[in-house]
Amino acid sequence: MGYFEDIRAVVRGLPPGKVATYGEVARAAGYPGSGRQVAWALRHASARGIPWQRIVGAGGTTRLPGESGMEQRLLLEMEGVKFAGGRIRMKQFEYRFPKTRAKGGRRAPGRPGSAHTVTGRLRS
């Protein structure tokens, strides 16, 4: 199964009325850090039963240019997703992928790499 298939499977798993970010989809598909490829895959998907409209940028921003963006917003609003100031209320509509089941509701408390001092990469 190729990248495309993985992405497709994950996106198809999104329930109506919920959205996910490219990054989250990529992570759920097993390709963390390749949010761009999610976009690429969706562009090629163009439908095929894939709810592409449920994929939005980080923070709930729509990333589709032109009329496709309006179509996406329309479709999402039909599903019950509400927009606020051009953005989706992610707090309410972001879908959580069933990755690991933490009983406390918190996921992976204290996982490594979440240091507050390091930004993740060296800058300058």
79 touches DNA by CB under 7 A: no
Closer to DNA by CB, 66 or 103: give it.
Answer: 66
120 touches DNA by CB under 7 A: yes
Share of the chain residues as helix, strand and coil, in percent rounded to the nearest 5: 45, 10, 50
64 touches DNA by CB under 7 A: yes
Q: Given the rule CB under 7 A, which of 53-61, 75-83, 95-103, 106-114 is the region that contacts DNA?
A: 53-61
Query: CA–CA separation, 86 vs 63, rounded Å?
Result: 11
Residue 65 half-sphere exposure toward CB, CA atoms < 13 A? 2
Out of 12, 43, 96, 99, the residue judged to bind DNA by CB under 7 A: 43
- 57: nearest Cα among 35, 40, 75, 77: 35
95 touches DNA by CB under 7 A: no
Angle among Cα 40, 46, 51 to the nearest 5 degrees reads 95
36 touches DNA by CB under 7 A: yes
**Which positions touch DNA (CB under 7 A)?**
2-4, 21-24, 31, 33-40, 42-46, 52-53, 55, 57-59, 63-65, 68, 72, 119-121, 123-124
